[in-house]
Amino acid sequence: MAEKMEFQSEAKQVLELMINSVYSNPDIFVRELISNASDAIDKLRIESLSHPELAEYAKNGRIDITIDKKAGTLTISDNGIGMDRDDLVSYLGTIARSGTGEFIRAMQEAKNGANSDLIGQFGVGFYSSFIAADRVTVETLKAGGSESWKWESTGDGTYTIDGGSRAGHGSSITLHMKKEEQSGDDHDITKDYLSEWTLRGIIKEYSDFVTYPIYLTDVEKEKKEDEKEEPVNSMKALWTRPQKDISDDEFNDFYRHISHDWENPLERIYYKAEGTSEFRALLFIPSRPPMDLFYQDGKHGVQLYIRRVFIMNDCKDLIPEYMRFIKGVVDSEDLSLNVSREMLQQDRQTAQIKNSLVKKILDTLHKMRKDQPDSYNKFWQTFGVVLKEGIISDLRHREDIMKLCLFDVSEGDKTTLEDYLINMPAGQDKIYYLAGSSLKNLKNSPKLEAFKKKGIKVLLLGDPVDEIWVNHARKFDKYDFVSAAAENLMLPEGEKEEKKDSEIEKSGLVKKLKDALGSLVEDVKVSDRLVDSPVCFVQKGEEISPQMRNLFRSMGQEVPEEKRVMEINPDNALIKKIADESEKENFNAEDWSHLLMGLASIADGEPVPDGQQFTNLVSKLLEK
């Protein structure tokens, strides 16, 4: 008896989206199912390395696609690992992947047509069957197992599992195709997926590099006796051919095949290493970020082949975390075919390959920056924030990575550190930066006023990772990084204008404000960095900035209460006015000090400590 079961709720939502969306590229379901079939054969082969009893099954992997026009079905069949009952429930009945919620939201928001891209990026492979089918049947037998199973669903939120009739190990996915007239005018499923020629074209286009043969059969077509079976795909390992013989289209097709991306890559790296370690690499820099770039369990790394034999996907040991945007293939001549993930981590050769790849990738980026600035800017916008992690984690290449960084500055266009140094005014011997959470706030920060006046540029660091690497690196070339928000800034030329024994000092305002604020601030001082603004906060000593504080808090770490120094501008009209007031009998130091503190917070792009109190204060003071 077939047992009826419910999809997990997220899986249900994804399915619903699949069924009700409009696709610019409905073809992707073919690619996704072939990719699953190929993965299943890979898995069996890898499993057989540690389970010799499976070795017999793991030979002669193949994928068969069968068209049955009369029945209106398309079947994608493999002789891979297969699934048992538990596998069917956990793999096809649920989606256990972080980011599913975000994916669902993005799908719901996407305008018509953008959806295929999202599906490709997220990789909801199997469910894409429902783009073209209104019922899907899976017949499967796990390699080494004895019971076969039949899984079936119409995508309505439930599925059934029953005993199956498959004789050999592997899986067959049968799509009962939607009828065109049922799919409505909006749907783009006008193509006849049961046409041999259509399918042949799709397979060539998207799955030509699959390493197992894909055979296509139309059950209605009689086979001639002497007809030899010919796979549709070429299975050629592109990276083994000389670069000059490979066309741009072939490279791009290959990239799309391994990355599931829909667009062409931004740049490719073809590399043949000889000498102590012999390997070939074909790597790509995508033109846009994958969804999982910042997920903890995101799929990073390259495909590892050893002497043309596929070993594993997402091999993280060959590419450092901070280059996780790189997609591609590495094919080693030297590693052992039985290598496991654990062995790779300790292997000396793996470390060598990794080091050469890092060098090669950095070289390529340097070249891009010099020769194709537009492309490089696009790269930087997309992946710069990831690459910067390398300044923290990769000491050996730190300087090299820093040279690749592009920074916004207080005035003018983005700059590299080298250009920053070249353009420093005479007398400047430090690299000034201001870290914060938004570029707009940074650009308008009162802390920059004195710098602007002296023609000194300040790097504006708006990414959370910035403050961390700045604290790690501390220097570039021989120049120290110094925060423009630091308390005792010694700006060059030592031409600190002779501080007039100002009205402010005489009024005793500083002390009054300080007394009123008490422990809320570390100190109140007369500023020599402010030019126009009335007030700002600066950091005492090696204090951490408000942004870092928020970051640490969000990671659940304890951070000491912050102590900020409030600086007031003696030349500012408001401050002068408050100073006058402060000499009066009824001066309300409490109100004025809190008002100034609120203004300083706003200038930093931070919320005022007590919004209600601040609003009341402003209203009250305005009334006066």
Whole-number minimum distance, CB 24 to ligand ATP, in Å? 19
Closest residue by Cα to residue 384 from 263, 270, 293: 293
470 three-class SS: helix
**Angstrom distance (rounded) from CA 567 to CA 523:** 8
Whole-number minimum distance, CB 562 to ligand ATP, in Å? 44
Residue 32, annotated as binding a ligand: yes
Whole-number minimum distance, CB 96 to ligand ATP, in Å? 9
Residue 83, annotated as binding a ligand: yes
252 backbone dihedrals φ, ψ, rounded to 5°: -65, -40
**Angstrom distance (rounded) from CA 86 to CA 93:** 10
Q: Write out the two tokens for 388.
A: 């910067």
Kindly tell me which of 258 and 401 has the beta carbon lying closer to ligand ATP. Answer: 258
Kindly tell me which of 80 and 534 has the beta carbon lying closer to ligand ATP. Answer: 80
Residue 99, annotated as binding a ligand: yes
Yes or no: say if 132 and 26 are a contact pair by the CB < 8 Å rule.
yes
Q: Write out the two tokens for 294.
A: 């910042």
Residue 122, annotated as binding a ligand: yes
Kindly tell me which of 22 and 40 has the beta carbon lying closer to ligand ATP. Answer: 40
Whole-number minimum distance, CB 124 to ligand ATP, in Å? 6
* Residue 204, CA distances (Å) to 69, 172, 188 in order: 21, 21, 21
Whole-number minimum distance, CB 211 to ligand ATP, in Å? 15
Q: What does the binding site for ligand ATP look like in residue numbers (CB under 6 A)?
A: 32, 36-37, 39-40, 78, 80-81, 83, 91-92, 123-127, 171
Geometric angle at alpha carbon 439, from 436 and 442, rounded to 5°? 60
Q: Write out the two tokens for 473.
A: 């690196």
Kindly tell me which of 35 and 569 has the beta carbon lying closer to ligand ATP. Answer: 35
Closest residue by Cα to residue 112 from 21, 17, 20, 13: 21
Residue 251, annotated as binding a ligand: no
Q: Hey, what amino acid is at 187?
A: H
* Residue 29, CA distances (Å) to 129, 189, 203 in order: 6, 12, 11
Whole-number minimum distance, CB 317 to ligand ATP, in Å? 20
Instruction: Kindly state the DSSP code that residue 66 receives in the 8-state scheme.
Output: E
Yes or no: say if 61 and 169 are a contact pair by the CB < 8 Å rule.
no
**Angstrom distance (rounded) from CA 421 to CA 481:** 12
Residue 125, annotated as binding a ligand: yes
Kindly tell me which of 45 and 564 has the beta carbon lying closer to ligand ATP. Answer: 45
Closest residue by Cα to residue 285 from 252, 250, 248: 252
Whole-number minimum distance, CB 41 to ligand ATP, in Å? 8
Kindly tell me which of 78 and 208 has the beta carbon lying closer to ligand ATP. Answer: 78
Whole-number minimum distance, CB 149 to ligand ATP, in Å? 12
Give the number of other Cβ atoms within 10 Å of residue 466's Cβ.
23
Residue 124, annotated as binding a ligand: yes
The residues facing 74 across adjacent strands are: 67, 175
Kindly tell me which of 32 and 604 has the beta carbon lying closer to ligand ATP. Answer: 32
434 three-class SS: strand
Kindly tell me which of 211 and 416 has the beta carbon lying closer to ligand ATP. Answer: 211
Residue 463, annotated as binding a ligand: no
Residue 123, annotated as binding a ligand: yes
* Residue 127, CA distances (Å) to 88, 192, 354 in order: 13, 20, 35
Whole-number minimum distance, CB 89 to ligand ATP, in Å? 11
Whole-number minimum distance, CB 191 to ligand ATP, in Å? 22
Whole-number minimum distance, CB 82 to ligand ATP, in Å? 6
* Residue 474, CA distances (Å) to 384, 458, 483 in order: 19, 15, 11
382 three-class SS: helix
Residue listed under structure tokens 């000090």: 593
Kindly tell me which of 31 and 388 has the beta carbon lying closer to ligand ATP. Answer: 31
User: What region does 99 belong to: left with phi over 0, alpha with psi -120 to 50, or beta?
Assistant: left
Instruction: Kindly state the DSSP code that residue 179 receives in the 8-state scheme.
Output: P
Kindly tell me which of 173 and 456 has the beta carbon lying closer to ligand ATP. Answer: 173
Radius of gyration over every alpha carbon of the chain, rounded to an integer in angstroms: 32
Kindly tell me which of 313 and 444 has the beta carbon lying closer to ligand ATP. Answer: 313
Residue 126, annotated as binding a ligand: yes
248 three-class SS: helix
**Angstrom distance (rounded) from CA 219 to CA 223:** 9
User: What are the DSSP calls for 78-135, one per residue?
Assistant: E-SS---HHHIIIIIS----TTHHHHHHHHHHSPTBSHHHHHHHHT-GGGGHHHHEEE
Instruction: Kindly state the DSSP code that residue 529 receives in the 8-state scheme.
Output: S
Kindly tell me which of 326 and 461 has the beta carbon lying closer to ligand ATP. Answer: 326
**Angstrom distance (rounded) from CA 536 to CA 450:** 12
Residue 98, annotated as binding a ligand: yes
CA 195 to chain CA centroid, Å, is 38
Residue 379, annotated as binding a ligand: no
Contacts of 619 (CB under 8 A, 6+ apart): none
Kindly tell me which of 96 and 343 has the beta carbon lying closer to ligand ATP. Answer: 96
Binding residues: 32, 36, 78, 83, 98-99, 121-126, 341
Binding residues for ATP: 32, 36, 78, 83, 98-99, 121-126, 341
